[in-house]
């Protein structure tokens, strides 16, 4: 038999059983759509994260007192002046920016907005450009003793504001003080969107001496600086300190993506397994329904191997149909997910869809279909034509 003969017989039967074919392939559609969406989003997220971290380059190391617990960082304690001075003198270190990170609730027009506050000396704010703090409106805070603030994008456009926005020139109430907004940061999709930059002098006047708990270390030789900082911290006793770099952030995010991916793949595999069982059932039913037809085809000269190939291809095409529908569904769900993420601040995030992903999403269900139809195909190929022609 020629390939077009196989295709004619396959599509003729599948066309007469459209609903059954669709329902049989539905499980594979769900499984492939899940896998397709998962891979497209996870690859897109990894590229997005890498692109964001590349903005730091090899110029910045963050240090805070406390330990990392699982995926989470906990700030506990503060830096001594001696610690900060020693970090500044280590090989590879260019400049240490000391800051105090805290949280509060601000008030604007009777609306309350929770926020993280980065207290910093205004003479150091320009260095924040190295860590992706870029102003979209207004300017950085410039006077250490005036109550001025810079707002992250999500603070200025908080859902808590009931469709209002905070603009440059407006006043907010923070730490019981009326402070003017002099600048708003560009949207990044990260923690900067939820930060308020607050002048150190004003904070010190309100609360007394500042306990610094966040260091931004600018370096001129990353490897030298990292090794010297790590060795210095390891030599200390008592307080635990955590070093955060672009690479360590990426490793944490990769682990989170990996855990989510594993869970999603398990769910998708269950769906595909159930669909494979349905294909086996459908193909056995098909053999019984076409028992006499198979006998006639074999009586007309069709070989056992040709019957075997016919049923294997038929089950493969059921899987392939599920794969095609899965790609279409996965394509739309990927972009819907990216639109949702963009709404929440991941403005540059896009799903990463490759030719390899599309080919995989076609071949995998096709071979799953063939594998699922193997036993029914063998049964069909062994039918005795004389017995089949008498079958009622």
Task: Calculate the dihedral angle through the C-alpha atoms of 271, 273, 279, 285, rounding to the nearest 10 degrees.
Answer: -110
Element (H, E) at 4: helix 3-16
Structure confidence at residue 248 (pLDDT): 73
| pLDDT band for position 56 (cuts 50, 70, 90) | low
Rg (CA), the chain: 32
Residues 6+ apart with CB under 8 A from 287: 294, 311, 376, 379, 380, 383
The DSSP bridge pattern shows strands 195-199 and 148-151 to be antiparallel
Query: What is the C-alpha to C-alpha distance for residues 329 and 339, in angstroms, rounded to an integer?
Result: 16
Report if pTM > 0.85: no
> Could you give phi then psi for residue 220, rounded to 5 degrees?
-105, -15
pLDDT in tens, 106-152: 999 989 999 999 999 999 998 888 888 899 999 999 999 999 999 99
Indicate the average pLDDT of the chain: 84
When comparing pLDDT for 103 and 306, which is higher? Answer: 103
Task: Say yes or no to pLDDT of 391 above 60.
Answer: no
Q: How far is residue 96's CA from residue 64's CA, in Å, rounded to a whole number?
A: 12
Q: Percent of the chain at pLDDT above 70?
A: 90
In which residue are the tokens 């269900």 written?
365
Residues 370/376/379/381 CA torsion (nearest 10 deg): -40
pLDDT at 149: 96
- The whole-number average pLDDT for the span 336-362 is 79
Q: Which ranges of 55-176 does DSSP label H, i.e. alpha helix?
A: 81-88, 153-156
pLDDT-based confidence at residue 102 (cuts at 50, 70, 90): very high
> Hey, what are 133's tokens?
């703090």
- CA-CA-CA-CA torsion sign (36, 40, 43, 46): negative
71 pLDDT more than 50:
no
Residues 303 and 13 sit within 8 Å (Cβ to Cβ)? no
CA dist 290 and 301 (Å) reads: 17
Give pLDDT, residue 188: 80
The better pLDDT of the pair 133, 67 is held by 133
181-228: per-residue pLDDT in tens? 999 999 887 788 899 999 999 999 999 989 999 999 999 888 899 999
Across residues 6-12, what is the average pLDDT?
A: 72
Between these two residues, 268 and 6, which has the higher pLDDT value?
Answer: 268
Q: Which residues on adjacent β-strands are paired with residue 99? A: 214
Q: In this prediction, what percent of the chain has a pLDDT beyond 90?
A: 32
End-to-end Cα distance, the chain: 27
Long-range CB contacts for residues 20-24, cutoff 8 Å, separation at least 24: 20/282, 21/282, 21/318, 21/321, 22/321, 23/278, 24/275, 24/278, 24/279, 24/282, 24/318
Q: Tens digits of per-residue pLDDT, 16-55?
A: 777 777 877 888 888 888 888 888 888 887 777 777 666 6
């Amino acid at each position: 038999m020629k390939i077009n003969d196989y295709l004619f017989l396959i599509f003729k039967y599948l066309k007469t059983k459209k609903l059954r074919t669709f329902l049989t392939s539905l499980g594979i559609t769900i499984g492939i759509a899940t896998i397709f969406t998962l891979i497209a989003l996870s690859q897109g997220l990894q590229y997005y994260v890498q692109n964001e971290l590349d903005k730091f380059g090899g110029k910045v190391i963050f240090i805070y007192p406390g330990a990392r617990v699982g995926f989470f960082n906990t700030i506990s304690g503060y830096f001594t002046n001696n610690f900060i001075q020693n970090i500044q003198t280590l090989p590879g270190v260019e400049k240490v920016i000391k800051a105090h990170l805290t949280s509060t609730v601000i008030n604007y027009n009777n609306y309350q907005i929770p926020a993280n506050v980065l207290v910093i000396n205004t003479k150091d704010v320009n260095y924040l450009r190295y860590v992706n703090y870029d102003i979209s409106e207004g300017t950085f805070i410039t006077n250490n003793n005036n109550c001025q603030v810079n707002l992250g994008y999500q603070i200025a456009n908080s859902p808590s504001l009931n469709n209002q926005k905070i603009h440059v020139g407006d006043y907010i109430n923070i730490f019981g003080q009326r402070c003017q907004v002099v600048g708003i940061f560009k949207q990044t999709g990260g923690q900067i969107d939820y930060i308020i930059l607050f002048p150190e002098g004003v904070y010190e006047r309100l609360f007394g001496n500042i306990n610094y708990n966040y260091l931004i270390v600018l370096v001129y030789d990353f490897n030298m600086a990292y090794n010297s900082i790590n060795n210095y911290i390891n030599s200390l006793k008592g307080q635990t300190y955590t070093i955060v770099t672009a690479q360590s952030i990426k490793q944490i995010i990769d682990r989170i993506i990996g855990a989510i991916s594993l869970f999603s793949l398990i769910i998708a595999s269950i769906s595909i397994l159930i669909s494979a069982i349905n294909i086996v059932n459908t193909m056995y039913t098909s053999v019984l329904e076409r028992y006499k037809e198979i006998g006639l085809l074999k009586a007309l000269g069709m070989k056992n191997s040709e019957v075997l190939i016919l049923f294997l291809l038929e089950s493969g095409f059921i899987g392939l149909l599920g794969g095609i529908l899965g790609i279409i569904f996965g394509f739309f769900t990927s972009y819907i997910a990216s639109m949702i993420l963009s709404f929440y601040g991941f403005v540059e995030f896009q799903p990463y869809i490759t030719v390899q992903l599309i080919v995989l999403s076609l071949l995998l269900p096709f071979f799953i279909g063939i594998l699922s139809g193997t036993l029914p195909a063998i049964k069909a190929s062994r039918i005795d034509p004389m017995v089949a022609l008498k079958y009622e």
